[in-house]
A = this chain, B = another copy of it.
Amino acid sequence: MSIFFEIKSSCGKARRGVISTAHGQINTPAFMPVGTAATVKAMLPESVIATGAEIILGNTYHLMLRPGEDVIANLGGLHKFMNWNKPILTDSGGFQVMSLSSLRKITPDGVEFNSHLDGQKYFLTPEKSIDIQHKLNSNITMIFDECTPYPIDHLYAEKSMRLSLIWAKESKKAFHDRDGYGIFGIIQGSTFEDLRKISAEALQEIGFDGYAIGGLAVGEGHEKMLEVLHFTIPNITSDKPRYLMGVGKPIDIIASVKRGVDMFDCVLPTRSGRNGQAFVSGGVINIRNQKYILDGSPLDELCNCYTCNNFSKAYLNHLIKSNEILGAVLMTWHNIAYYQNLMKQLRTLIEKGTLYSYTDEELTYVK
């Protein structure tokens, strides 16, 4: 039963693993492109695969509102609905309930909220969230939790973390155990070392197929995030995947892999691509800049993606300035490919045992 995680090799704290699911394998460290509303925005499924991505993330909150989990279940599940036959991880909806909906009311049983689409009232509980993820046929289900904002005081952080632990138990109980499907716990506790330790240990007592670190990438910054990883990761068993939710910039990912994180997701490559930002070796460029108007070179000379193989900065500058859909498509494609190439490079260096021979900055140069 469940999913299977094997560590092939390690280098310092960094691990090179493989997660096996009912829909195939995921090589870790892995970056999961975000497919909020049953589509990685602007991308064909086969284009996502062409970037090297082996798993995507779907959003329970968005999908329960539209088209609704019963519609997707009726049509054979999320994989079939969106024509993506590789693994899917779904979040629990907790984060979006906090960030997108209005008139939230948190009770011990769950969260009452109004849809950001039409104001309709919903009540999301751990059991309901897990049931929705089951109907979506998600390979990796996330427990329903409260994601706290930053900064918060110790009192609120502890109260919230303890509520999330109760919900974690209820989530685990509601999960339908099946071969090739798993459920991850989410460690909370904001930036407090004692709370993170309590959360991690209690979750492992319940027992999950992987452990996520939640409540980061909410404005605390790079150094604070690394500090939390530093005192949280030693409390997590080494034989399960570790997933840092909502992270992040390439430099965040590189630093986190060096500290033992295996999985990541973030809207950054897709969202910023649509806005004209490209991740390239050594940093970020804004393709709208007038200096690219006659630039016949690709976004990144080191990149082998479809966009870089076929189109110039000048053309992308024109498309994005003209608000053309193809601009969003090609920029997104490159950014996801950059992230996937980065993960591949990190995996290779872990295998070779040379990951720590390079600075984080040097590792942003991706071939």
A positions within 8 Å CB-CB of B: 37-39, 41-45, 66-67, 71, 74-76, 81-83, 274, 293-294, 296, 310-312, 314-315, 317-319, 321-322, 324-326, 328-329
Contact = CB atoms under 8 A, between A and B. Distances in A.
Given A83-B310, A294-B71, A41 B326 contact: yes
A326 B39 contact: yes
Nearest to A318: B67
A71 B39 contact: no
B326 A81 contact: no
Contact of A66 (B312, B321, B325): B321
A349 B42 CA distance: 38
Contacts of A41: 324-326
A44 B71 CA distance: 30
B75 A314 contact: yes
A23 to B, nearest CB: 17
Total copies of this chain within the assembly? 2
B325 A67 contact: no
A311 B84 CA distance: 11
Contacts of A274: 325
Given A74-B294, A294-B71, A329-B329, A37 B324 contact: yes
A75 B296 contact: yes
Given A311-B83, A315-B81, A318-B66, A71 B293 contact: yes
A67 B314 contact: yes
Nearest to A66: B322
A105 to B, nearest CB: 27
Which one of A45, A71, A314, A318 has the highest number of Cβ atoms from chain B below 10 Å of its Cβ?
Answer: A318
Given A82-B315, A314-B75, A324 B39 contact: yes
A314 B81 CA distance: 8
A6 to B, nearest CB: 32
28 contacts: A38-B315, A39-B319, A39-B324, A39-B325, A39-B326, A41-B325, A41-B326, A43-B326, A44-B326, A44-B329, A45-B310, A66-B318, A66-B322, A67-B314, A67-B317, A71-B294, A75-B294, A75-B296, A75-B312, A75-B314, A75-B315, A81-B312, A81-B314, A81-B318, A83-B310, A83-B311, A325-B325, A329-B329
